[in-house]
Amino acid sequence: MAETFFSMFTPEEIALISASGTRVHLPEGWAPISEQTGADKAYIILSGKVSVRQHGEEITQCGEGEIIGEAAILNHSLRTASIVALTPLELIHFTKEQLERLNVEMPKFHEALEKVAAARFPTS
């Protein structure tokens, strides 16, 4: 199984990260993030699957344990993709401020975010 964002942490660290955000449920078909909008939130998927789309075309799918929406916050840019729920979702919602606070309080969280963003958006 491929490494997910959550697989980089101990159960205690996952509990701390989870407690820093707000648990939300979204129905199938819902789009919590839209392309070319401001970077004001990110989510960690607890259950379900999403489609990541650019210009309406699916480029990948993400599922349990993965973080979505972090790249635009890290890069201080507009969203580069839309996220659409393929199934009902259970998520942890983070505001930009909550993510930034975790980055400062938990260096390992910041390192994991950087690792995920680098894998998704290689600079080469």
Residue 112 belongs to domain with CATH number: 2.60.120.10
The tally of domains found in the chain comes to 1
Cα–Cα distance, 3 to 36 (Å, whole number): 28
| pLDDT (0 to 100) of residue 123 | 58
pTM strictly above 0.75: yes
Residue 33 lies in a domain: no
Residue 110 lies in a domain: yes
Residue 4 lies in a domain: no
Residue 79 lies in a domain: yes
Per-residue model confidence as pLDDT tens for the chain (124 residues): 467 899 999 999 999 999 999 999 999 999 999 999 988 999 999 999 999 999 999 999 999 999 999 888 888 888 989 999 999 999 999 999 999 899 899 999 989 988 887 787 665 4
Residue 113 lies in a domain: yes
Residue 60 lies in a domain: yes
Q: Which residues of 81-92 are buried (b: 16+ CB within 10 A; e: fewer)?
A: bbbbbeeebebb
DSSP symbols for the chain:
----SGGGS-HHHHHHHHHHSEEEEE-TT--SB-TTS---EEEEEEE--EEEEETTEEEEEE-TT-EESHHHHHHT---SSEEEESS-EEEEEEEHHHHHHHHHH-HHHHHHHHHHHHHHS---
β-sheet with 89-95: strand ranges across: 22-26, 89-95, 41-47, 67-68
> Which domain does 76 fall in, by range?
47-124
CA dihedral 113, 118, 121, 124 (to 10 degrees): 160
Residue 8 lies in a domain: no
